[in-house]
Amino acid sequence: MSQDTAVAMLARMESGEVTSEEIVRSLLDRADRERRLNVFVHLDPDHILDQARAVDRKRKAGEPVGPLGGVPVAIKDLLCVRGEPTTCSSRMLKGFRPPYDATVIERLKAADAILFGKTNMDEFAMGSSTENSAYGPTLNPWDESRVPGGSSGGSAAAVAAGMAPLSLGSDTGGSIRQPAAVCGVVGLKPTYGRVSRYGLIAFASSLDQIGPFAHDLADTALLLKAIAGRDPKDATSVDQPVPDYPETLDKPPENLRIGVVREFFGEGLDPEVASAVQEAVKLYEKAGATIKEVSLPHSKYGVPAYYIVAPAECSSNLARYDGTTYGHRAEDYSPKYPGEENIAELVRMMMVSRAEGFGPEVKRRIMLGTFALSAGYADQYYNKALQVRRKIRGDFDAAFREVDVLLGPTSPTPAFKLGERTADPLSMYLSDIYTITANLAGIPGLSIPCGLTSQNLPIGLQLLAAPFAEESLLRTARVFERATDWHTRRPQSAG
Protein backbone atom coordinates (compact mmCIF):
# COMPACT_ATOMS: atom_id res chain seq x y z
CA MET A 1 0.00 0.00 0.00
CA SER A 2 2.82 2.41 0.82
CA GLN A 3 3.95 2.58 -2.81
CA ASP A 4 0.46 3.35 -4.18
CA THR A 5 -0.11 6.59 -6.02
CA ALA A 6 -2.49 9.17 -4.58
CA VAL A 7 -4.97 8.45 -7.40
CA ALA A 8 -4.93 4.74 -6.48
CA MET A 9 -5.38 5.53 -2.78
CA LEU A 10 -8.34 7.80 -3.54
CA ALA A 11 -10.01 5.09 -5.61
CA ARG A 12 -9.55 2.52 -2.84
CA MET A 13 -10.91 4.91 -0.21
CA GLU A 14 -13.88 5.86 -2.39
CA SER A 15 -14.77 2.20 -2.96
CA GLY A 16 -14.60 1.55 0.78
CA GLU A 17 -11.74 -0.91 0.41
CA VAL A 18 -9.48 1.02 2.80
CA THR A 19 -9.78 3.98 5.14
CA SER A 20 -7.46 6.95 5.40
CA GLU A 21 -6.64 5.77 8.91
CA GLU A 22 -5.42 2.42 7.56
CA ILE A 23 -3.32 4.20 4.95
CA VAL A 24 -1.65 6.57 7.39
CA ARG A 25 -1.01 3.74 9.86
CA SER A 26 0.80 1.81 7.17
CA LEU A 27 2.82 4.87 6.16
CA LEU A 28 3.65 5.72 9.78
CA ASP A 29 4.92 2.13 10.22
CA ARG A 30 7.04 2.51 7.16
CA ALA A 31 8.44 5.88 8.31
CA ASP A 32 9.26 4.28 11.66
CA ARG A 33 11.01 1.26 10.11
CA GLU A 34 13.02 3.54 7.80
CA ARG A 35 13.96 6.08 10.46
CA ARG A 36 17.64 5.82 9.52
CA LEU A 37 16.85 7.61 6.23
CA ASN A 38 16.15 10.73 8.35
CA VAL A 39 13.34 11.93 6.09
CA PHE A 40 11.17 13.66 8.69
CA VAL A 41 12.24 16.32 11.14
CA HIS A 42 8.81 16.44 12.82
CA LEU A 43 6.22 13.67 12.70
CA ASP A 44 3.28 13.61 15.10
CA PRO A 45 1.45 10.27 14.66
CA ASP A 46 -1.47 11.20 16.93
CA HIS A 47 -2.19 14.39 15.05
CA ILE A 48 -1.94 12.55 11.71
CA LEU A 49 -4.34 9.82 12.89
CA ASP A 50 -6.81 12.48 14.09
CA GLN A 51 -6.83 14.13 10.67
CA ALA A 52 -7.33 10.75 8.94
CA ARG A 53 -10.20 9.73 11.21
CA ALA A 54 -11.92 13.07 10.61
CA VAL A 55 -11.86 12.53 6.82
CA ASP A 56 -12.98 8.90 7.23
CA ARG A 57 -15.97 10.09 9.28
CA LYS A 58 -16.91 12.62 6.59
CA ARG A 59 -16.66 10.02 3.85
CA LYS A 60 -18.64 7.45 5.85
CA ALA A 61 -21.38 9.98 6.56
CA GLY A 62 -21.70 10.67 2.85
CA GLU A 63 -20.58 14.29 3.23
CA PRO A 64 -18.64 15.89 0.35
CA VAL A 65 -14.93 15.09 0.60
CA GLY A 66 -12.22 17.28 -0.96
CA PRO A 67 -10.13 16.27 -3.99
CA LEU A 68 -7.29 15.01 -1.76
CA GLY A 69 -9.66 13.49 0.80
CA GLY A 70 -7.58 11.33 3.15
CA VAL A 71 -4.37 11.43 1.06
CA PRO A 72 -1.16 12.02 3.05
CA VAL A 73 1.03 14.91 1.87
CA ALA A 74 4.47 15.40 3.45
CA ILE A 75 5.47 19.04 3.89
CA LYS A 76 8.90 20.63 3.54
CA ASP A 77 9.90 22.16 6.86
CA LEU A 78 9.79 25.73 5.51
CA LEU A 79 6.02 25.95 5.06
CA CYS A 80 4.24 27.45 8.04
CA VAL A 81 1.69 25.21 9.73
CA ARG A 82 -0.15 26.94 12.53
CA GLY A 83 0.93 25.72 15.95
CA GLU A 84 3.28 23.04 14.62
CA PRO A 85 7.07 23.05 14.57
CA THR A 86 8.41 24.81 11.46
CA THR A 87 12.18 25.12 11.61
CA CYS A 88 13.71 25.25 8.08
CA SER A 89 16.02 22.54 9.47
CA SER A 90 17.84 25.32 11.32
CA ARG A 91 18.91 25.77 14.92
CA MET A 92 17.74 29.35 14.44
CA LEU A 93 14.08 28.28 14.40
CA LYS A 94 14.26 25.42 16.90
CA GLY A 95 10.92 25.31 18.69
CA PHE A 96 9.29 27.91 16.42
CA ARG A 97 5.55 27.38 15.97
CA PRO A 98 3.98 29.73 13.41
CA PRO A 99 0.86 31.67 14.39
CA TYR A 100 -0.74 31.09 10.96
CA ASP A 101 -0.95 28.63 8.05
CA ALA A 102 0.78 29.13 4.71
CA THR A 103 -1.78 29.54 1.92
CA VAL A 104 -0.79 26.18 0.40
CA ILE A 105 -1.42 24.56 3.80
CA GLU A 106 -4.86 26.21 4.00
CA ARG A 107 -5.59 24.84 0.53
CA LEU A 108 -4.43 21.33 1.44
CA LYS A 109 -6.65 21.43 4.51
CA ALA A 110 -9.57 22.62 2.39
CA ALA A 111 -8.90 19.71 -0.01
CA ASP A 112 -9.08 17.29 2.97
CA ALA A 113 -5.46 16.21 2.58
CA ILE A 114 -3.64 14.75 5.58
CA LEU A 115 -0.62 16.87 6.59
CA PHE A 116 1.93 14.10 6.98
CA GLY A 117 4.90 15.52 8.90
CA LYS A 118 7.63 18.03 8.10
CA THR A 119 10.48 16.88 5.88
CA ASN A 120 14.20 17.47 6.20
CA MET A 121 15.92 20.04 3.99
CA ASP A 122 19.10 22.04 3.59
CA GLU A 123 18.99 24.80 6.19
CA PHE A 124 16.79 27.65 4.88
CA ALA A 125 16.72 25.80 1.51
CA MET A 126 20.38 26.58 0.81
CA GLY A 127 22.08 23.54 -0.63
CA SER A 128 21.79 20.71 -3.14
CA SER A 129 22.21 17.65 -0.91
CA THR A 130 20.20 18.09 2.33
CA GLU A 131 23.55 17.84 4.14
CA ASN A 132 23.25 21.44 5.37
CA SER A 133 20.54 20.44 7.85
CA ALA A 134 20.83 21.00 11.59
CA TYR A 135 19.22 17.53 11.91
CA GLY A 136 21.86 15.72 9.81
CA PRO A 137 21.47 14.57 6.19
CA THR A 138 18.65 12.54 4.66
CA LEU A 139 19.86 9.36 2.92
CA ASN A 140 18.89 8.51 -0.64
CA PRO A 141 16.44 5.56 -0.56
CA TRP A 142 18.09 4.09 -3.69
CA ASP A 143 21.57 4.03 -2.15
CA GLU A 144 22.02 5.03 1.45
CA SER A 145 25.63 6.10 0.94
CA ARG A 146 24.36 8.86 -1.34
CA VAL A 147 22.54 12.18 -0.94
CA PRO A 148 18.86 12.63 -1.92
CA GLY A 149 19.65 15.95 -3.58
CA GLY A 150 18.43 19.20 -2.13
CA SER A 151 17.31 21.41 -0.80
CA SER A 152 13.96 19.53 -0.73
CA GLY A 153 15.74 16.18 -0.17
CA GLY A 154 13.38 15.01 2.57
CA SER A 155 10.27 15.65 0.45
CA ALA A 156 11.77 13.77 -2.53
CA ALA A 157 12.92 10.85 -0.36
CA ALA A 158 9.52 10.66 1.40
CA VAL A 159 7.83 9.87 -1.93
CA ALA A 160 10.65 7.63 -3.24
CA ALA A 161 10.71 5.56 -0.04
CA GLY A 162 6.93 5.15 0.03
CA MET A 163 6.36 7.19 3.18
CA ALA A 164 3.90 9.54 1.46
CA PRO A 165 2.46 9.47 -2.07
CA LEU A 166 2.73 13.25 -2.35
CA SER A 167 4.87 15.98 -0.86
CA LEU A 168 5.49 19.69 -1.20
CA GLY A 169 8.88 21.30 -1.69
CA SER A 170 10.23 24.64 -2.81
CA ASP A 171 12.53 25.41 -5.73
CA THR A 172 14.79 28.48 -5.74
CA GLY A 173 17.53 27.18 -8.06
CA GLY A 174 16.52 23.54 -8.63
CA SER A 175 15.53 22.45 -5.11
CA ILE A 176 12.50 20.47 -6.34
CA ARG A 177 13.73 19.23 -9.73
CA GLN A 178 17.23 18.08 -8.74
CA PRO A 179 16.15 15.96 -5.72
CA ALA A 180 13.24 14.57 -7.78
CA ALA A 181 15.74 13.51 -10.46
CA VAL A 182 18.18 11.78 -8.12
CA CYS A 183 15.40 10.12 -6.07
CA GLY A 184 13.51 8.81 -9.13
CA VAL A 185 10.26 10.75 -8.64
CA VAL A 186 8.39 13.54 -10.44
CA GLY A 187 9.05 17.12 -9.28
CA LEU A 188 7.49 20.30 -10.65
CA LYS A 189 8.59 23.90 -10.19
CA PRO A 190 5.62 26.00 -11.30
CA THR A 191 5.89 29.42 -12.94
CA TYR A 192 6.88 32.17 -10.52
CA GLY A 193 3.52 33.49 -9.30
CA ARG A 194 1.52 30.33 -10.08
CA VAL A 195 1.44 29.25 -6.42
CA SER A 196 1.16 31.61 -3.46
CA ARG A 197 4.32 32.00 -1.39
CA TYR A 198 2.43 33.35 1.63
CA GLY A 199 3.73 31.41 4.63
CA LEU A 200 6.73 30.02 2.76
CA ILE A 201 9.72 31.05 4.86
CA ALA A 202 11.62 33.19 2.38
CA PHE A 203 15.09 32.50 1.04
CA ALA A 204 15.24 34.48 -2.25
CA SER A 205 11.86 36.05 -2.87
CA SER A 206 12.17 36.67 -6.63
CA LEU A 207 13.14 33.01 -7.23
CA ASP A 208 11.31 30.89 -4.60
CA GLN A 209 8.35 28.83 -5.78
CA ILE A 210 6.42 26.00 -4.09
CA GLY A 211 5.68 22.81 -6.02
CA PRO A 212 4.70 19.14 -5.84
CA PHE A 213 6.56 15.81 -5.71
CA ALA A 214 4.77 12.61 -6.76
CA HIS A 215 5.32 9.16 -8.26
CA ASP A 216 3.69 10.11 -11.55
CA LEU A 217 2.15 12.93 -13.55
CA ALA A 218 -1.49 12.25 -12.67
CA ASP A 219 -0.63 12.75 -9.00
CA THR A 220 1.48 15.80 -9.81
CA ALA A 221 -1.43 17.36 -11.73
CA LEU A 222 -3.79 16.63 -8.83
CA LEU A 223 -1.58 18.33 -6.24
CA LEU A 224 -0.73 21.29 -8.50
CA LYS A 225 -4.41 21.97 -9.08
CA ALA A 226 -5.03 21.96 -5.34
CA ILE A 227 -2.37 24.57 -4.55
CA ALA A 228 -2.29 26.85 -7.64
CA GLY A 229 -3.98 30.19 -8.11
CA ARG A 230 -4.06 33.81 -7.08
CA ASP A 231 -3.86 34.68 -3.42
CA PRO A 232 -4.54 38.21 -2.16
CA LYS A 233 -1.93 37.60 0.57
CA ASP A 234 0.87 37.23 -2.02
CA ALA A 235 1.02 40.24 -4.33
CA THR A 236 3.33 38.34 -6.70
CA SER A 237 0.83 35.51 -7.20
CA VAL A 238 -0.67 36.00 -10.62
CA ASP A 239 -4.34 36.32 -11.47
CA GLN A 240 -4.54 33.70 -14.22
CA PRO A 241 -7.12 30.94 -14.47
CA VAL A 242 -5.96 27.56 -13.14
CA PRO A 243 -6.49 24.89 -15.81
CA ASP A 244 -7.92 21.51 -14.85
CA TYR A 245 -4.52 19.80 -15.00
CA PRO A 246 -5.72 16.24 -14.17
CA GLU A 247 -8.55 16.50 -16.71
CA THR A 248 -6.36 17.51 -19.67
CA LEU A 249 -3.29 15.41 -18.81
CA ASP A 250 -4.07 12.58 -21.20
CA LYS A 251 -4.74 14.81 -24.20
CA PRO A 252 -1.58 14.44 -26.30
CA PRO A 253 -0.24 17.82 -27.44
CA GLU A 254 -0.76 18.57 -31.12
CA ASN A 255 2.08 19.54 -33.46
CA LEU A 256 4.51 19.26 -30.57
CA ARG A 257 7.83 21.02 -31.11
CA ILE A 258 10.62 20.08 -28.72
CA GLY A 259 13.88 21.98 -28.38
CA VAL A 260 16.96 20.07 -27.28
CA VAL A 261 19.17 22.56 -25.44
CA ARG A 262 22.71 22.38 -26.86
CA GLU A 263 24.29 23.93 -23.76
CA PHE A 264 22.83 21.22 -21.49
CA PHE A 265 25.01 18.51 -23.06
CA GLY A 266 28.45 19.98 -22.40
CA GLU A 267 31.37 19.18 -20.16
CA GLY A 268 30.60 17.62 -16.79
CA LEU A 269 27.54 15.69 -17.98
CA ASP A 270 27.63 12.04 -16.89
CA PRO A 271 27.60 9.80 -20.02
CA GLU A 272 24.85 7.54 -18.64
CA VAL A 273 22.66 10.58 -17.93
CA ALA A 274 23.37 11.90 -21.44
CA SER A 275 22.39 8.64 -23.10
CA ALA A 276 19.15 8.27 -21.09
CA VAL A 277 18.16 11.79 -22.15
CA GLN A 278 19.06 11.04 -25.79
CA GLU A 279 16.78 7.99 -25.59
CA ALA A 280 13.98 10.30 -24.49
CA VAL A 281 14.61 12.54 -27.49
CA LYS A 282 14.30 9.49 -29.79
CA LEU A 283 11.08 8.50 -28.09
CA TYR A 284 9.56 11.94 -28.71
CA GLU A 285 10.71 11.81 -32.32
CA LYS A 286 9.00 8.43 -32.76
CA ALA A 287 5.87 9.84 -31.13
CA GLY A 288 5.73 12.41 -33.91
CA ALA A 289 7.24 15.48 -32.26
CA THR A 290 9.40 17.87 -34.25
CA ILE A 291 12.84 17.93 -32.65
CA LYS A 292 14.99 21.03 -32.99
CA GLU A 293 18.36 21.85 -31.56
CA VAL A 294 18.08 25.08 -29.60
CA SER A 295 20.72 27.33 -28.08
CA LEU A 296 20.46 29.25 -24.80
CA PRO A 297 23.74 31.13 -25.19
CA HIS A 298 23.74 32.71 -21.71
CA SER A 299 23.17 29.44 -19.85
CA LYS A 300 26.71 29.31 -18.54
CA TYR A 301 26.11 32.60 -16.73
CA GLY A 302 23.15 31.16 -14.83
CA VAL A 303 25.11 29.88 -11.83
CA PRO A 304 27.21 33.05 -11.42
CA ALA A 305 24.15 35.33 -11.79
CA TYR A 306 22.25 33.18 -9.30
CA TYR A 307 25.07 33.31 -6.74
CA ILE A 308 24.74 37.08 -6.68
CA VAL A 309 20.95 37.45 -6.87
CA ALA A 310 20.01 34.66 -4.43
CA PRO A 311 22.55 35.59 -1.69
CA ALA A 312 21.62 39.29 -2.06
CA GLU A 313 17.95 38.50 -1.46
CA CYS A 314 18.84 36.01 1.28
CA SER A 315 20.97 38.54 3.16
CA SER A 316 17.97 40.85 3.25
CA ASN A 317 15.34 38.17 4.03
CA LEU A 318 17.37 36.56 6.80
CA ALA A 319 18.13 39.89 8.50
CA ARG A 320 14.89 39.29 10.43
CA TYR A 321 16.52 36.52 12.51
CA ASP A 322 18.16 38.67 15.13
CA GLY A 323 17.12 37.02 18.37
CA THR A 324 14.62 39.72 19.33
CA THR A 325 11.05 38.64 18.52
CA TYR A 326 11.36 34.95 17.65
CA GLY A 327 14.05 32.40 16.88
CA HIS A 328 17.26 31.65 18.71
CA ARG A 329 18.76 34.13 21.17
CA ALA A 330 22.24 33.54 22.59
CA GLU A 331 22.52 33.15 26.37
CA ASP A 332 25.96 34.72 26.58
CA TYR A 333 26.93 37.56 24.27
CA SER A 334 29.68 39.17 26.28
CA PRO A 335 32.77 40.32 24.29
CA LYS A 336 35.01 37.42 23.26
CA TYR A 337 37.12 38.41 20.24
CA PRO A 338 39.28 41.54 19.82
CA GLY A 339 37.23 44.67 19.11
CA GLU A 340 33.90 43.26 20.32
CA GLU A 341 33.94 45.39 23.48
CA ASN A 342 33.33 48.40 21.20
CA ILE A 343 30.11 46.93 19.81
CA ALA A 344 26.82 47.88 21.51
CA GLU A 345 25.31 45.13 23.65
CA LEU A 346 22.15 44.84 21.53
CA VAL A 347 24.19 44.46 18.32
CA ARG A 348 26.41 41.88 20.02
CA MET A 349 23.31 39.97 21.11
CA MET A 350 22.21 39.85 17.45
CA MET A 351 25.66 38.88 16.16
CA VAL A 352 26.13 36.04 18.60
CA SER A 353 22.54 34.78 18.23
CA ARG A 354 22.95 34.64 14.46
CA ALA A 355 26.40 33.03 14.71
CA GLU A 356 24.97 30.28 16.93
CA GLY A 357 21.70 29.87 15.03
CA PHE A 358 22.94 29.64 11.42
CA GLY A 359 25.10 26.93 9.85
CA PRO A 360 28.14 27.65 7.66
CA GLU A 361 26.40 27.66 4.23
CA VAL A 362 23.76 30.14 5.41
CA LYS A 363 26.48 32.38 6.85
CA ARG A 364 28.46 32.17 3.63
CA ARG A 365 25.48 33.26 1.56
CA ILE A 366 24.48 36.05 3.94
CA MET A 367 28.01 37.43 3.76
CA LEU A 368 28.24 37.02 -0.01
CA GLY A 369 24.92 38.84 -0.42
CA THR A 370 25.87 41.57 2.04
CA PHE A 371 29.10 42.07 0.08
CA ALA A 372 27.33 42.12 -3.31
CA LEU A 373 24.93 44.81 -2.07
CA SER A 374 27.51 46.87 -0.18
CA ALA A 375 28.48 50.41 -1.13
CA GLY A 376 30.88 50.43 -4.06
CA TYR A 377 30.10 46.88 -5.22
CA ALA A 378 26.35 46.87 -5.91
CA ASP A 379 26.77 48.08 -9.49
CA GLN A 380 29.59 45.73 -10.30
CA TYR A 381 27.86 42.66 -8.89
CA TYR A 382 24.15 42.98 -8.11
CA ASN A 383 23.06 45.22 -10.99
CA LYS A 384 25.29 43.36 -13.43
CA ALA A 385 23.71 40.05 -12.34
CA LEU A 386 20.22 41.49 -12.92
CA GLN A 387 21.21 42.61 -16.43
CA VAL A 388 22.55 39.13 -17.20
CA ARG A 389 19.30 37.78 -15.78
CA ARG A 390 17.40 39.67 -18.47
CA LYS A 391 19.68 38.19 -21.13
CA ILE A 392 18.92 34.70 -19.76
CA ARG A 393 15.21 35.43 -19.91
CA GLY A 394 15.69 36.72 -23.45
CA ASP A 395 17.28 33.39 -24.47
CA PHE A 396 14.18 31.55 -23.26
CA ASP A 397 11.77 33.99 -24.93
CA ALA A 398 13.58 33.46 -28.24
CA ALA A 399 13.58 29.67 -27.81
CA PHE A 400 9.85 29.54 -27.03
CA ARG A 401 9.09 31.34 -30.28
CA GLU A 402 10.54 28.28 -32.04
CA VAL A 403 9.49 25.38 -29.82
CA ASP A 404 6.85 24.54 -27.19
CA VAL A 405 9.00 22.70 -24.70
CA LEU A 406 12.73 22.58 -23.98
CA LEU A 407 14.35 19.31 -23.05
CA GLY A 408 17.57 18.30 -21.30
CA PRO A 409 18.94 16.51 -18.24
CA THR A 410 17.81 17.74 -14.80
CA SER A 411 21.06 17.06 -12.98
CA PRO A 412 24.47 16.57 -14.62
CA THR A 413 25.11 13.48 -12.49
CA PRO A 414 23.11 10.88 -10.59
CA ALA A 415 23.05 11.13 -6.76
CA PHE A 416 26.54 11.80 -5.44
CA LYS A 417 28.12 10.37 -2.29
CA LEU A 418 27.50 11.91 1.12
CA GLY A 419 30.36 14.28 1.94
CA GLU A 420 31.61 14.37 -1.65
CA ARG A 421 30.91 18.06 -2.26
CA THR A 422 30.65 19.56 1.24
CA ALA A 423 34.24 20.82 1.39
CA ASP A 424 33.98 22.85 -1.81
CA PRO A 425 30.95 25.18 -2.01
CA LEU A 426 31.49 25.82 -5.73
CA SER A 427 31.33 22.12 -6.68
CA MET A 428 28.02 21.91 -4.79
CA TYR A 429 26.68 24.99 -6.62
CA LEU A 430 27.36 23.33 -9.99
CA SER A 431 24.84 20.55 -9.13
CA ASP A 432 22.17 23.05 -10.23
CA ILE A 433 23.74 24.08 -13.52
CA TYR A 434 20.74 22.96 -15.65
CA THR A 435 17.95 23.98 -13.30
CA ILE A 436 19.00 27.43 -12.10
CA THR A 437 18.18 29.45 -15.25
CA ALA A 438 14.47 28.57 -15.02
CA ASN A 439 14.29 30.30 -11.63
CA LEU A 440 16.08 33.38 -12.92
CA ALA A 441 13.64 33.53 -15.85
CA GLY A 442 10.56 32.62 -13.77
CA ILE A 443 9.48 29.79 -16.11
CA PRO A 444 8.07 26.39 -15.08
CA GLY A 445 10.22 23.25 -15.06
CA LEU A 446 9.50 19.58 -14.54
CA SER A 447 11.72 16.58 -13.79
CA ILE A 448 10.48 13.06 -14.54
CA PRO A 449 12.23 9.70 -14.11
CA CYS A 450 13.81 8.62 -17.43
CA GLY A 451 16.23 5.84 -16.60
CA LEU A 452 18.54 4.11 -14.16
CA THR A 453 22.34 4.00 -14.28
CA SER A 454 24.36 0.75 -14.26
CA GLN A 455 24.57 1.30 -10.47
CA ASN A 456 20.78 1.45 -10.27
CA LEU A 457 20.61 5.19 -9.60
CA PRO A 458 17.70 7.24 -11.00
CA ILE A 459 18.13 9.70 -13.87
CA GLY A 460 15.85 12.70 -14.40
CA LEU A 461 14.61 14.28 -17.62
CA GLN A 462 13.96 18.01 -17.41
CA LEU A 463 11.29 19.75 -19.46
CA LEU A 464 10.89 23.55 -19.46
CA ALA A 465 8.08 25.67 -20.87
CA ALA A 466 7.00 29.28 -21.23
CA PRO A 467 5.41 31.09 -18.25
CA PHE A 468 2.07 29.53 -17.19
CA ALA A 469 2.41 26.63 -19.65
CA GLU A 470 2.31 23.99 -16.89
CA GLU A 471 -0.54 22.28 -18.68
CA SER A 472 1.49 21.80 -21.86
CA LEU A 473 4.50 20.75 -19.76
CA LEU A 474 2.51 18.01 -18.03
CA ARG A 475 0.86 16.80 -21.24
CA THR A 476 4.21 16.70 -23.03
CA ALA A 477 5.78 14.74 -20.17
CA ARG A 478 2.81 12.38 -20.21
CA VAL A 479 3.71 11.30 -23.77
CA PHE A 480 6.99 9.97 -22.37
CA GLU A 481 5.48 8.52 -19.21
CA ARG A 482 2.84 6.60 -21.11
CA ALA A 483 5.47 4.96 -23.32
CA THR A 484 7.88 3.99 -20.52
CA ASP A 485 7.76 2.41 -17.07
CA TRP A 486 10.47 4.37 -15.27
CA HIS A 487 7.85 6.04 -13.06
CA THR A 488 6.82 2.62 -11.72
CA ARG A 489 10.33 1.72 -10.51
CA ARG A 490 10.88 1.84 -6.77
CA PRO A 491 14.06 1.54 -4.70
CA GLN A 492 14.64 -2.02 -3.52
CA SER A 493 14.47 -1.06 0.15
CA ALA A 494 10.98 0.35 -0.40
CA GLY A 495 9.61 -2.96 -1.82
Tell me the catalytic residues: 76, 151, 175
Query: Does residue 85 touch other proteins according to CB under 8 A?
Result: no
Rg (CA), the chain: 22
Hey, which residues between 402 and 431 contact other proteins (CB under 8 A)? 425-426
Which amino acid appears at position 429 of this protein? Y
Tell the smallest beta-carbon distance from residue 75 to other proteins (Å): 19
Q: Strands 166-170, 186-189: parallel, antiparallel or unpaired by DSSP?
A: unpaired
Tell the smallest beta-carbon distance from residue 427 to other proteins (Å): 10
Hey, which residues between 103 and 162 contact other proteins (CB under 8 A)? none
Among 340, 452, 482, 489, binds other proteins (CB under 8 A): 340
Among 325, 332, 454, 495, binds other proteins (CB under 8 A): 325
Among 33, 60, 282, 336, binds other proteins (CB under 8 A): 336
DSSP-derived letter for residue 494 is G
Q: Which residues contact 381 (CB under 8 A, 6 or more apart)?
A: 308, 371, 372
Interface stretch with other proteins, choices 54-62, 143-151, 327-335, 481-489 (CB under 8 A): 327-335
Indicate the residue among 156 and 318 with the shorter CB distance to other proteins. 318
Among 278, 295, 387, 492, binds other proteins (CB under 8 A): 387
Which amino acid appears at position 197 of this protein? R
Interface stretch with other proteins, choices 166-174, 250-258, 362-370, 481-489 (CB under 8 A): 362-370
Tell the smallest beta-carbon distance from residue 401 to other proteins (Å): 17
Dihedral sign (CA 393, 398, 401, 405): negative
Q: Reduced to 3 DSSP states, what percent helix, strand and coil does the chain have, rounded to the nearest 5?
A: 45, 15, 45
The region, left, alpha or beta by phi > 0 then psi within -120 to 50, assigned to residue 89 is left
Query: Could you give the dihedral angle defined by the CA atoms of residues 124, 147, 193 and 261, in that order, rounded to the nearest 10 degrees?
Result: 140
DSSP per residue over 401-456, as a string?
HH-SEEEEESSSSSPPBTTSSSS-HHHHHGGGTTTHHHHHHT--EEEEEEEE-TTS
Query: Does residue 345 touch other proteins according to CB under 8 A?
Result: yes
Among 23, 79, 202, 388, binds other proteins (CB under 8 A): 388
For 284, the 3-state DSSP assignment is helix
Among 351, 378, 452, 494, binds other proteins (CB under 8 A): 351
Which amino acid appears at position 290 of this protein? T
Indicate the residue among 242 and 281 with the shorter CB distance to other proteins. 242
Give dist(CA 447, CA 404) in Å, integer. Answer: 16
Hey, which residues between 281 and 320 contact other proteins (CB under 8 A)? 298, 300-301, 303-305, 307-308, 315, 319
Among 355, 398, 419, 456, binds other proteins (CB under 8 A): 355
Query: Does residue 323 touch other proteins according to CB under 8 A?
Result: yes
For 409, the 3-state DSSP assignment is strand
**Contact at 8 Å (CB) between 90 and 320?**
no
Residue 411 burial by CB count (10 A; 0-12/13-18/19+): exposed, middle or buried? buried
Query: Does residue 174 touch other proteins according to CB under 8 A?
Result: no
For 17, the 3-state DSSP assignment is coil
Interface stretch with other proteins, choices 131-139, 168-176, 353-361, 481-489 (CB under 8 A): 353-361
Among 70, 193, 211, 259, binds other proteins (CB under 8 A): 193
Query: Does residue 366 touch other proteins according to CB under 8 A?
Result: yes
Site string for other proteins, 204-243 (x = CB under 8 A): --xx------------------------x--xx-x-----
Indicate the residue among 232 and 266 with the shorter CB distance to other proteins. 232
Considering only CA atoms, which of 307, 353, 351 is closest in space to residue 326? 353
